[in-house]
Amino acid sequence: MNLAEDHIRDAGYAGFSFRDLAAEAGIKSASVHHHFATKSAMTAAVAKRYADRFFLSVAPKPGESASEAIAAYREAFRSSFSRDGRMCLFGVLGAEAGGLAPEVASVILAFFQRCIEDLSQRIGGTDAQARAFQVMATLEGGMILARIYKDVAAFDQAVAALA
């Protein structure tokens, strides 16, 4: 799952095969199929694990401000990219969603819905939902720019005016 996650964040759903993963893990592809019946099922499982980890990392702190909530999301994205130069998994999968199984698409939608809902509540005020959409769009788009420029400075400039 770690290897699959890296490959997806780098090159998308088509960016890995069971043989790739098996070779890198030192086993055979049939052994991967023992754990995940299909590639879609494995991708959905990897995505769910990624989402769980993400929402733990952005968990609200008592008495935080709207700016602090936005900063928590920003830092989660930023540290992810600066650690290994790879994108947000859901940004990649979201961009190529037209070619993914419903099984995977539903996990992607659930992730963004939960982000928007969580951010909206923590931002508060009249335009909370629109600001939540703006934050998520800027973070995901900023990741694309950073990966294309191969420079986290592109991300930093993109998100500088956010919070």
CA dihedral 121, 122, 125, 129 (to 10 degrees): -60
- Binding residue for its own copies, selected from 99, 114, 117, 124, defined by CB under 8 A: 99
Site string for DNA, 24-43 (x = CB under 7 A): --xxxxxx-xxx-xxxx---
Kindly tell me which of 55 and 112 has the beta carbon lying closer to its own copies.
112
Q: Find which of its own copies, DNA, none residue 1 binds, CB within 5 to 8 Å per kind.
A: none
Helix spans in the chain (H): 2-11, 18-25, 29-35, 39-57, 66-84, 89-95, 102-123, 128-149, 152-159
User: Which letter, b or e, does each residue of 94-103 get, where b requires 16 or more Cβ atoms within 10 Å of its Cβ?
Assistant: beeeeebeee
Give the nearest distance from C-beta 162 to DNA in angstroms. 36
Whichever of 34 and 114 has its CB closer to DNA, that residue is 34
Residue ranges that bind DNA, judged by CB under 7 A = 16-20, 22, 26-31, 33-35, 37-40
